[in-house]
């Protein structure tokens, strides 16, 4: 689907003559690689949300902070929008280009500047891959905890922009909980340090404000991350259930017992079968749901926790429980889960990945709601989720070539997210808002709250040049979106009335 | 010392006729208790930073959100400053009143609205005492983790305002890591929800921005906190050292080994003797330093961690190591530490408590710097600190009745904080900036960074009516403070040149 920045609802953008801008930038920053030919721009048309595509006016590939600084000052002076991009693995279209804007690719900032095993921190450039940090820290017995499924490819700068999570964030937190300090450049080229090497910094918490701001407040040029000591031991249990709700109840039991698993993941039958067919992880294809529960720590704790979790799973009605017998099986159990998205990609021409977060107690109610929506819209939905922290990833299966299916997939996706909001949850857990969920932000926040967001945005970027049209909708967009709802004559959350 | 809001450097405040304001407010909100007689105002002259005092124009004691809403709208319309106060236990003067302002006391909002053991959350009003939350959660085996030493008295609203910590925050985080959602009122009386019941909320992280903002962005009317399962077991080790630096090195060893203690506290000889004399905790009065290290979790882990920590302490040169033999001794060990401040109060007419945070590796260097400053200024300094997270509480002993000692105490305090900044640390760990450290904010942040703070403040409170003169200095103030330094003809951090 071609992505159109909508100037009518997202605000006007200045138009520039591409050849002139290219010539000016080349004169200003001669050592800055700049792509502007149509065929060179194609690889940058989309990020991991491949359903939306747009061709950027040009792509800049800096590897020096001075180049970025000069580019931002130039863009600011000429009112040219700038969209930052890391590895381009994002799933919400946060790095979708603008045809009137510069795509600022930070991937070449890929140096690990320092690993300090005593302070348990690493200082890295934003283009460093998530997994590369753990690899660099490994000789010291340390690692970087957040592990998005894309960790082999995604960059730490993108992780900061999206406040990325992963299967271990229940225990170890999101990106915001695992970074200490950021060096950033603002749109007017100022260099600012957010946070500090110490535990807490005085003044307003700009580090947290910036993390997850999706490239709208500035450009990250350096990240100081916390490193953790590698757990001595990690064991994973695979439990089968004949009923999704029983699996959901088991999650509550485990958390309630005070065990904090390193990971606690749930998959439903459709997701199990897709993953098993692809990875041969040894999943029970007849189960209605499985739970993967990992406990980590020192040997003796892990033994005790495994026994405790096993008893709880049994009491919750698990029909089968298996402890990965060795590290190879443990890796295989996780590989099935981590590859669930591409696995679903094999059984459906297209799929659309949701990222709602809900209070854990609402799990059965929301699963039922998704099932009903699935029937209403005639589209299959596979459920894969970080059950422990209530972060759901419903995968909507559709065929973009079948007339109307893309629109139906978008519509059911929106309904699912609105359902998450209605039960007290939120429209994103770890993938961000980006382009994808911008309309649902109107359901999540009222206009007073959005006005604050705009004022904060204006404090950093008064001309609105950094990633416009993403993350935070204009009030105009919400008015349009709201009136669409009225036009359809439906209450936003009819599915809740049944409960 | 009388506290004067300095209109010259902190910005002008409108002057109002007190009788008129009282009459207007009484007419507008008849059920709002309002104190305005001189003798009624005295108890509200200061918070826990008793060295500074001012008499508020009046004190409002609401217990309904509608009263606060109406009061804020009135104050906003008439440009009357509003200073919020919880229990008044803060140590940085964040709740110091303004003689031209209303002191808004939130202490009567003291109801626990809900404890949800399944979701592990509690919804409480802002005036609820920190410890009362844990007491209400105890029947479910749950507790609220942050435990400031003042937890028996301090309120959760004040904890949010100051992003309070405690001896267990190394493992369990600060207030910001332990809350999910805030209901707030802005200065124009708008009700806003920050955060959500879910793990993560989309949009900018206003919850984190608000936490620690010291009453400058809005008034908290409801807090949803996370509750944790009570650890099955907790053991505390008391280790003696004949050298402060060895104790500091032991801290690094423990953290480096991957043990995350529930608490890891250090006290120097002066603090040990004061505490022992007061509490009879059983501390070794001849030791140059002690470390208190608590490990908590399931039985078997704790056993293993105790053995591991004991071995590390021995290797680091501890001269004596004692494991609290029972819960009573464990409580006694902690009582000594938690009462270190009043204990020092017994051996000195006055003391001044600092709250700098430094990277752990700088501990020996900063301790040496404090020792040198102590000699230079002729004032004793007792050191008590959350060693695990680098949060230091040097206590400067002085006599306010001795001419010049108060000024010397303030001066050495400022130098100590600047030293913290110079080694990459920060001027506050958990007590906040308030009035006390407002000048040191000029050392911590440059004018670009402060400009951001002002823009954020303006987004919430354009007229600057919420707690003016605290937390974030005006550029004018920093210019004054900077020129003072030049006037003294000294580099800000000469003590660093020796290293």
CA neighbor of B287 nearest in space, from B328, B329, B250, B326: B250
Do B119 and A360 lie within an 8 Å CB cutoff?
yes
User: Has residue B492 got a pLDDT over 50?
Assistant: no
Strand positions, DSSP E, B86-200: 102-105, 112-116, 121-124, 142-143, 179-185, 191-195
B43-77 pLDDT per residue, tens: 999 998 877 899 999 999 999 999 999 999 999 99
Task: Name the residue among A116, A120, A301 with its Cβ closest to that of B255.
Answer: A120
Q: Residue A15 carries which DSSP code?
A: -
Rounded to 5°, the CA angle A365-A367-A371 comes to 115
Kindly state whether residues A243 and A217 are assigned to the same domain.
no
**Confidence class of residue A494 from pLDDT cuts 50, 70 and 90?**
very low
B320 lies in a domain?
A: yes
A57 lies in a domain?
A: yes
Amino acid B200: pLDDT = 67
A445 lies in a domain?
A: yes
Kindly state whether residues B61 and B148 are assigned to the same domain.
no
Q: Enumerate residues 252 to 271 of chain B having a beta carbon within 8 A of any beta carbon in chain A.
A: 252, 255-258
Kindly state whether residues B118 and B154 are assigned to the same domain.
yes
A2 lies in a domain?
A: no
- Exposure on the CB side of residue A31, measured as CA atoms within 13 A: 8
B427-455 pLDDT per residue, tens: 887 788 888 888 888 888 888 888 889 98
* CB of A18 closer than 8 Å to CB of A61: no
Residue A458 forms contact with B (CB below 8 Å):
yes
**Confidence class of residue B482 from pLDDT cuts 50, 70 and 90?**
low
User: Has residue B486 got a pLDDT over 90?
Assistant: no
Amino acid A487: pLDDT = 26
A74 lies in a domain?
A: yes
User: Has residue A44 got a pLDDT over 70?
Assistant: yes
Residues of B in contact with A205 (CB under 8 A): 163, 176, 205, 208-209, 211-212
Kindly state whether residues A361 and A457 are assigned to the same domain.
yes
Do B198 and A427 lie within an 8 Å CB cutoff?
no
Strand positions, DSSP E, B417-498: none
Amino acid A493: pLDDT = 38
Kindly state whether residues A462 and A414 are assigned to the same domain.
yes
Amino acid B431: pLDDT = 83
Task: Name the residue among A298, A389, A424 with its Cβ closest to that of B301.
Answer: A298
CA neighbor of A464 nearest in space, from A216, A133, A212: A216
Name which residue leads in pLDDT, B310 or A299: B310
* Residues in contact with A58: Cβ distance below 8 Å, sequence separation at least 6, in sequence order: A18, A21, A22, A25, A34, A35, A36, A41, A102, A103
Kindly state whether residues B386 and B419 are assigned to the same domain.
yes
Amino acid A498: pLDDT = 32
User: Has residue A413 got a pLDDT over 80?
Assistant: yes
**A103-132 average pLDDT score:** 95
B1 lies in a domain?
A: no
CA neighbor of A164 nearest in space, from A385, A445, A355, A426: A355
Domain boundary among A282, A316, A343: A343
Domain boundary among A54, A78, A105: A105
- For chain A, give the number of residues: 499
**Residue A439 exposed, middle or buried by CB count within 10 Å (0-12, 13-18, 19+):** buried
**Confidence class of residue A200 from pLDDT cuts 50, 70 and 90?**
low
* CB of B390 closer than 8 Å to CB of B470: no
**B146-173 average pLDDT score:** 90
B2 lies in a domain?
A: no
In which element (H, E) is residue B449 found?
helix B447-460
Q: What CATH number corresponds to the domain at position B60?
A: 3.30.43.10
Domain boundary among A308, A343, A378: A343
Amino acid B359: pLDDT = 83
Q: What CATH number corresponds to the domain at position B276?
A: 3.30.70.2190
Residues of A in contact with B190 (CB under 8 A): 448
A1 lies in a domain?
A: no
Kindly state whether residues B217 and B301 are assigned to the same domain.
no
Listing DSSP states for B200-228 in one string gives --SSS-HHHHHTT-TTSS-EEEEEEEE-E
Residue B174 forms contact with A (CB below 8 Å):
yes
Kindly state whether residues A352 and A443 are assigned to the same domain.
yes
Please name every residue paired with A179 in a beta bridge, in sequence order, or none if there are none: A225
Kindly state whether residues B248 and B223 are assigned to the same domain.
no
Task: Report how far Cα A29 is from the mean position of its chain's Cα atoms.
Answer: 33
Average pLDDT, chain A: 89
Least confident residue range of A171-180, A486-495, B142-151? A486-495
Give B281-312 as a 3 state SS string: CCCCCCCCEEEEEEEEECHHHHHHHHHHHHHH
- For chain B, give the number of residues: 499
**Residue B361 exposed, middle or buried by CB count within 10 Å (0-12, 13-18, 19+):** middle
Average pLDDT, chain B: 89
Q: Nearest residue on chain A to B358, judged by CA atoms?
A: A198
Task: Name the residue among A200, A211, A357 with its Cβ closest to that of B426.
Answer: A200
Q: What CATH number corresponds to the domain at position A462?
A: 3.30.70.2740
Cα–Cα distance measured from residue B185 to residue A361, given in angstroms and rounded to the nearest whole number: 28
Residues of A in contact with B119 (CB under 8 A): 359-361
Q: Nearest residue on chain B to A427, judged by CA atoms?
A: B202
Do A429 and B199 lie within an 8 Å CB cutoff?
yes
What is the radius of gyration, based on Cα positions, of chain A?
Answer: 23
What do you get for the CA distance between the two ends of chain A, in Å?
Answer: 36
Amino acid A199: pLDDT = 66
Name which residue leads in pLDDT, B152 or B101: B101
Cα–Cα distance measured from residue A300 to residue A304, given in angstroms and rounded to the nearest whole number: 6
User: Has residue B372 got a pLDDT over 90?
Assistant: yes
Structural domains in chain A (count): 4
* Residues in contact with A461: Cβ distance below 8 Å, sequence separation at least 6, in sequence order: A186, A187, A216, A217, A218
> In terms of DSSP bridges, do strands B58-60 and B102-105 run parallel, antiparallel, or are they unpaired?
parallel
Kindly state whether residues A33 and A137 are assigned to the same domain.
no
DSSP alpha helices (H): ranges in A37-117? Answer: 38-41, 65-78
Residues of A in contact with B430 (CB under 8 A): 200
Cα–Cα distance measured from residue B82 to residue B25, given in angstroms and rounded to the nearest whole number: 14
Name which residue leads in pLDDT, A5 or A23: A23
- How far CA A257 is from CA of A199, A299, B221, in Å, comes to 30, 20, 31
Do B208 and A213 lie within an 8 Å CB cutoff?
no
Listing DSSP states for A129-187 in one string gives BHHHHHHHHGGGTEE-----TTTTT-BHHHHHHHT---TTHHHH--GGGGEEEEEEE-T
Reduced to 3 states (helix: H, G, I; strand: E, B; else coil), residue B465 is coil
Domain hosting residue B366, numbered range: 348-498
Cα–Cα distance measured from residue B88 to residue A340, given in angstroms and rounded to the nearest whole number: 53
Amino acid B491: pLDDT = 32
B228-277 pLDDT per residue, tens: 988 889 999 999 999 988 998 898 888 878 788 989 999 999 999 999 99
| Sheet order of strands, B34-35 included | B34-35, B58-60, B102-105, B82-85
Amino acid B242: pLDDT = 96
CA neighbor of B128 nearest in space, from B19, B227, B229, B225: B225
* CB of A49 closer than 8 Å to CB of A97: no
* CB of A205 closer than 8 Å to CB of B208: yes
Do A258 and B455 lie within an 8 Å CB cutoff?
no
Do A208 and B209 lie within an 8 Å CB cutoff?
yes
Cα–Cα distance measured from residue A351 to residue A332, given in angstroms and rounded to the nearest whole number: 24
Q: What CATH number corresponds to the domain at position B215?
A: 3.30.465.10
Cα–Cα distance measured from residue B316 to residue B295, given in angstroms and rounded to the nearest whole number: 18
Kindly state whether residues B484 and B462 are assigned to the same domain.
yes
Kindly state whether residues B356 and B339 are assigned to the same domain.
no
Q: Enumerate residues 65 to 124 of chain B having a beta carbon within 8 A of any beta carbon in chain A.
A: 116-120
């Amino acid at each position: 689907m071609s992505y159109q920045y909508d100037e009518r609802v997202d605000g006007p953008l200045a138009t520039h003559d591409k050849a002139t801008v290219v010539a000016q930038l080349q004169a200003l920053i001669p050592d800055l690689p700049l792509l502007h030919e149509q065929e060179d721009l194609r690889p940058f048309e989309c990020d991991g949300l491949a359903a939306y595509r747009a061709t950027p006016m040009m792509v800049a590939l800096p590897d020096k902070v001075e180049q970025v600084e000069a580019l931002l000052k130039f863009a600011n002076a000429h009112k040219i929008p700038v969209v930052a991009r890391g590895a381009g693995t994002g799933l919400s279209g946060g790095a979708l280009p603008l045809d009137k804007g510069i795509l600022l690719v930070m991937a070449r900032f890929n140096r690990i500047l320092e690993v300090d095993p005593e302070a348990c921190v690493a200082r890295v450039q934003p283009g460093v891959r998530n997994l590369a940090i753990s690899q660099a820290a490994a000789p010291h017995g340390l690692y970087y905890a957040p592990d998005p499924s894309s960790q082999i490819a995604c960059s730490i700068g993108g992780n900061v922009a999206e406040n990325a999570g992963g299967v271990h964030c229940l225990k170890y937190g999101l990106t915001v909980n695992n970074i200490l300090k950021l060096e950033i450049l603002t749109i007017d080229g100022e260099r600012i340090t957010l946070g500090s090497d110490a535990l807490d910094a005085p003044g307003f918490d700009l580090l947290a404000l910036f993390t997850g701001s999706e490239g709208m407040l500035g450009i990250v040029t350096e990240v100081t991350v916390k490193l953790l000591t590698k757990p001595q031991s990690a064991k994973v249990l695979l439990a089968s259930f004949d009923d999704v709700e029983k699996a959901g109840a088991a999650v509550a039991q485990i958390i309630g017992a005070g065990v904090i698993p390193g990971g606690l993941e749930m998959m439903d039958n459709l997701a199990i079968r897709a993953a098993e067919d692809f990875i041969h992880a040894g999943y029970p294809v007849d189960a209605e749901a499985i739970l993967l529960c990992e406990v980590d720590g020192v040997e003796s704790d892990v033994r005790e926790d495994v026994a405790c979790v096993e008893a709880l799973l049994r009491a919750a009605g698990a029909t089968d429980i298996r402890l990965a017998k060795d590290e190879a099986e443990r890796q295989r159990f996780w590989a099935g889960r981590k590859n669930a998205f591409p696995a679903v990609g094999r059984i459906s021409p297209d799929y659309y990945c949701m990222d709602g977060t809900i209070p854990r107690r609402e799990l059965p109610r929301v699963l039922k709601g998704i099932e009903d929506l699935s029937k209403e819209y005639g589209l299959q939905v596979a459920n894969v989720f970080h059950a422990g922290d209530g972060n759901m990833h419903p995968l909507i299966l559709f065929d973009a070539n079948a007339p109307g299916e893309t629109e139906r997939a978008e519509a059911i996706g929106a309904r699912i997210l609105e359902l998450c909001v209605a039960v007290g949850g939120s429209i994103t857990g770890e993938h961000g808002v980006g382009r994808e969920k911008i309309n649902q932000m109107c359901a999540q926040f009222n206009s007073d709250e959005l006005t604050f967001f705009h004022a904060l945005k204006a404090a950093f970027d008064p001309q609105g040049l950094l990633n416009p049209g993403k993350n935070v909708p204009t009030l105009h967009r919400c008015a349009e979106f709201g009136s669409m709802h009225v036009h359809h004559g439906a209450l936003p959350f009819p599915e809740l009335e049944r409960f």
